[in-house]
Copies of this chain bind each other. A is one copy, B any other.
Amino acid sequence: MKRNKHGCDLKSCFLCRLCSKDWLPAIDVHRQSFHVNKGEILFTEGSEVTGIYFIYKGTFKVHKKWTDDKEMIVRLAKNGAILGHRGLGNDIYYPVSATALEPSEVCFIDLGFFQSTLKVNYQFLYELMMFFAGELKESEKKMRNLAHMPVKGRIAQALLSMSAKFGTTAEGFIDITLSRQDLASYTGTTYETVFRIMNELVLEGSIALSGKNISILNADKLHEHAGSS
């Protein structure tokens, strides 16, 4: 994949677009980049919105709490994605949290600066709007799946989409490490259930496991479970 100096691929990186088109003063922005450790929380649901983040390198989960021990992972994001954009709108609090799944680099853009950029930069605003439109579609699709698809299908679906989004390593493993607990939260089910279903998928030869790594052996079979989706 073609990558630019930021380490993300041009096609999907808002930051790259910003820089390459001189929409934002790239250097200043880059100075604001910082490191986030695995498991570290970038921002928390309910905390005040201070700005927008761009993932420069790494992966994050965006999640919403339900009870103390239950959360829903709303989205997985990697290099080039925006985080914290849900802080736009009228509320001043983030409706979700973001946690790093691996050591990551993000760059932070102050809300005021971001908004004034939006005010000035028509094209960027347009892209952002389109981005939201896409996210909304995604979200509604996921919602429907959650409502009508049995757990096995949801897991199959999740594996397929993760594979599509994050690609696979040289060894054929899906290039993201998600704990079982996280996979459960992502598919809206429990730890134990994820377990049993993963076993079933292994037994039927759809996937293979190696420690925490997952590889897809038979995408067709997974698609069968996932239905039209």
In the complex, A72→B135 CA distance in Å? 18
Asked if A141 CB lies within 8 Å of chain B CBs, one says yes
In the complex, A70→B145 CA distance in Å? 11
A137 CB contact (under 8 Å) in B95, B129, B133: B95
A140 CB contact (under 8 Å) in B95, B122, B132, B134: B95
Knowing A64-B144, A125-B126, A129-B132, the reply to whether A137 touches B86 (Cβ < 8 A) is yes
Query: How many protomers of this protein does the assembly include?
Result: 2
- Are A133 and B72 interface neighbours, CB within 8 A? no
Chain A 109-134 against B: per-residue CB contact (8 Å), 1 yes, 0 no? 00000000011001001101110111
A85 CB contact (under 8 Å) in B70, B118, B133, B140: B133
- Are A143 and B74 interface neighbours, CB within 8 A? yes
In the complex, A120→B136 CA distance in Å? 24
In the complex, A189→B144 CA distance in Å? 11
In the complex, A72→B228 CA distance in Å? 14
16 contacts between A and B (CB under 8 A): A66-B148, A67-B148, A72-B144, A74-B140, A85-B133, A86-B136, A88-B133, A89-B137, A90-B130, A96-B140, A125-B126, A129-B129, A142-B143, A143-B143, A143-B146, A147-B188
In the A-B complex, the 9 residue pairs with the closest CB atoms: A147-B188, A132-B132, A89-B133, A129-B129, A72-B144, A139-B139, A66-B148, A88-B133, A143-B143
